[in-house]
Amino acid sequence: MRIDIISVVPDLLNGPFSHSILKRAQDKGIATVNVISLRDYAVDKHKSVDDYAFGGGAGMVMKIEPIVACIEDLKSRTEYDEIIYMSPDGQLLDQPMANALSLKENLMILCGHYKGIDERVREHFITKEISIGSYVLSGGELAAAVVADAVIRLIPGVLNDETSALSDSFQDNLLAPPVYTRPAEFRGWKVPDVLLSGHDANIEKWRHEKALQRTKERRPDLLK
């Protein structure tokens, strides 16, 4: 998989892709993440990528010229399955969406800043708009990193245990059940006996019951 991320402040994304699972995925050649500076496509000597909004109002708007120049340059070299814009009014990211995106080969993600991007970019180039929650961030970079992490970890070969992602929260519309590790007893707090029994069927039954119970208590909306 290839993910190209367009950003006004690309240095914000140095950390998320340089460690842990995302780094291993790139080292293995399973995924490639490129961060492109939008200022490289600015049309003036000052490298400006924003301007005042027509009609007035507070805040600046990301200009259409550098965004279109960047998108068209990338498209001339790569065929993208989706051109994504991170936006608070986009479709809310969930596990089914991450699953679907993990099956794609090439994704482009545009990170917004200021008051957003010129609407004409959304009308003519963006194929999917994604939000990670009902709140506003300073820019789309952190949200783009969240999307990349949620998607890349699902690609076969990224996680050491291929079945690990299948037991994550939300994969079956349930929250994950409680998990325990050694020691089996700590300060008198004991691990449930069923998990020490070695009886796979009983363990799976217990996990499902606990997942259902936790979902009912914490996220009943998922059961609808």
Give the pLDDT of residue 172.
81
Indicate whether 164 pLDDT > 70: no
Indicate whether 98 pLDDT > 60: yes
Check for a shared fold between 2-152 and 169-223. Answer: no
Dump pLDDT digits (tens) for 166-216: 556 677 889 999 999 999 999 999 999 999 999 999 999 999 999 999 999
Dump pLDDT digits (tens) for 52-82: 999 998 899 999 999 999 999 999 999 999 9
Under CATH, which architecture does the 169-223 domain have? Answer: Orthogonal Bundle (1.10)
Of 105-109, 158-162, 191-195, least confident by mean pLDDT is 158-162
| Domain range annotation of the chain | 2-152, 169-223
Strand partners, 35: 5
CATH class of 2-152: alpha beta
